[in-house]
Amino acid sequence: MELEAFRALRTTEGERVLAEVTASGVHESTLLATISALRGRYPEALVSAAVTQVRLRQRAVPKFGADAADMFFTTDGVEQATRASVAAHRAARFAQSERVLDLCCGVGGDLIALSRSGVAVHGVDLDPLTVEVARANAEVLGLTAATVTQGDVQEVDLAGWPAAFCDPGRRGGGRRVFNPRAYSPPFEFLLRLAAEVPAVGAKVAPGIPHDLVPAGAEAEWVSDGGDVKEAALWFGPLSTVERRATLLPSGATVVSRGAVAETGPVGNWLYEPDGAVIRAGLVAEVAADIGARLIDPTIAYLTADSLVTSEFTSAYEIVETFGFSLKRLRAALRDRDIGNVTVKKRGSAIDPALLRRELRLSGSGHIVVVLTRVAGAPTVLLCHPAPPVP
């Protein structure tokens, strides 16, 4: 979407077109008729911009919930914006700061959460369209303490700011950027920011190598609803531990404390740690908390002889364990009248989709097939999920 097209959407005429497209919907079965009818009364470019905006709002609902219906977006903005639950969690870290500088603010995901947490927030972004979108979002959501300006964040005067948050761009040429040194601005800027501003947070990719985390900084991995969403680095007084895994929506957290996990025989229960726990390298801490052991020193599966409920793991009752053999697995599933399987794997090169075809299932039951290694040997675990906690 071009800047002029967005500005047209913000006019009285643009608001009418947007409202009509919203009311008609953008389902493929009716979209052509809707566009044809609107083009008879409004400029073609305005109708196209309105359709695009309604589609982006629909895509933004998983991140922004009900707010998405009133907000404005760009395609990149939807992809890169922080989801509201994660942004609110992070904003709580800045509770002691009266003012926060939001660098690379994008369409305003963190800007919104920071403002709603009660701090005055000033956003900066390089892209003029993104800046206007962020301003529009602050306006429609009634965030009077949020301002946004256009500029290069590397040239912002940091003097006097007590706190800052930075969400560097992690896309280039339409693809995700995994090397922190290729962020925009680069990773080195985050270090300079931390050196010049007392309290700093920075969003990074969940796959950031642990050895890139600066000494004295806290690295936090966050999962929401069981999916790892983001990671962040915290500096100054916002850093309290070395590594942390946080689960949303509960806010449960586990932190690094130097635990060492033992490896032992497979017990009656298998525990699969949450992805944030694995990314943070805190499997040993969770193992210690639930009295479990590793099934293999290189695999992030835990086992124990009894069931323990933990937010940080998914539990499965193990009903059979054997060395991997397609013939034996097929026979075991046939004997149990299994016609549907959920395949989980860790430390196995087997393609789950190919395995399902080769199993030729015909029964009526369901079971979880875990492909992994135990003491270095390829192993199959047949499991049932633990019953839900009442």
The tens-digit pLDDT sequence of the chain (390 residues) is 789 999 999 999 999 999 989 988 888 777 788 888 888 888 989 999 999 999 999 999 999 999 999 999 999 899 889 999 999 999 999 999 999 999 999 999 999 999 999 999 999 999 999 999 999 999 999 999 999 999 999 999 999 999 999 999 876 555 666 677 778 898 899 999 999 999 999 999 898 999 999 999 999 999 998 899 899 999 999 999 999 999 999 999 999 999 999 999 999 999 999 999 999 999 999 999 999 999 999 999 999 999 999 999 999 999 999 999 999 999 999 999 999 999 999 999 999 999 999 999 988 999 999 999 999 999 999 999 998 766
In a domain, 390, yes or no: no
Domain with 189, as residue range(s), is 80-253
pTM value is 0.90
Co-location of 162 and 25 in the same domain:
no
CB atoms within 10 A of CB 141: 18
307 and 378 belong to one structural domain: yes
Helix (H) or strand (E) holding 314: strand 313-323
pLDDT, residue 31, reads 78
Residue 44 within a domain: yes
Shared domain for 186 and 54, answered yes or no, is no
For residues 217 and 277, state if they share a domain: no
Judge if the upstream peptide bond of residue 265 is cis by omega within 30 degrees of 0.
no
Same domain, 48 and 91: no
Q: Confirm whether 87 is domain-assigned.
A: yes
Q: What per-residue confidence (pLDDT) applies to 388?
A: 78
Q: Is residue 296 part of a domain?
A: yes
Same domain, 118 and 218: yes
Whole-number CA gyration radius for the chain: 25
Same domain, 241 and 276: no
Give how many domains the chain has, as a whole number.
Answer: 3
Tell me whether the omega of the peptide bond preceding residue 249 falls within 30 degrees of 0, making it cis: yes
Domain end, chosen from 39, 70, 101, is at: 70
Tokens of 201: 């947070």
- Reference 343, options 367, 317, 319, 374; nearest CA is 367
Residues 86 and 58 reside in one and the same domain: no
Q: In terms of domains, do 60 and 126 share one?
A: no
Domain boundary among 27, 52, 70: 70
pLDDT given at position 24: 86
Three-class SS of residue 384?
A: strand
